[in-house]
Amino acid sequence: MLLQQRPTRRVLSCATAKLLRDEAESMVPNIDPEQVRKLAGWGLTQNDRASFVGWSQSLLSLRF
């Protein structure tokens, strides 16, 4: 006879959540927003701008 198990809940403390958020942010390279604006002003496509700064197009579209 199999017993159905209840799903467990995980609760993160504020300190743990902040640590995870800080770690995730440190994984994203820091790009100067002014540089991205200049590239856009020159008529470069989003794909071109992403390639220039070394990001993927999807990451660039999320941040800018």
pTM of the predicted model as reported, rounded to 2 decimal places: 0.51
pLDDT grade for 42, boundaries at 50, 70 and 90: very high
> Do 36 and 49 form a contact (C-beta atoms < 8 A)?
yes
Q: Is the pLDDT of residue 29 over 80?
A: no
User: Which amino acid makes up residue 8?
Assistant: T
CB 39 within 8 A of CB 54: no
Evaluate if residue 6 carries a pLDDT over 80.
no
E strands in 1-64: none
Residue 57: pLDDT above 80? yes
Note the maximum CA span of the chain: 69
Q: Which residue has the higher pLDDT, 64 or 52?
A: 52
| Cα dihedral 42/53/61/38 (nearest 10) | -30
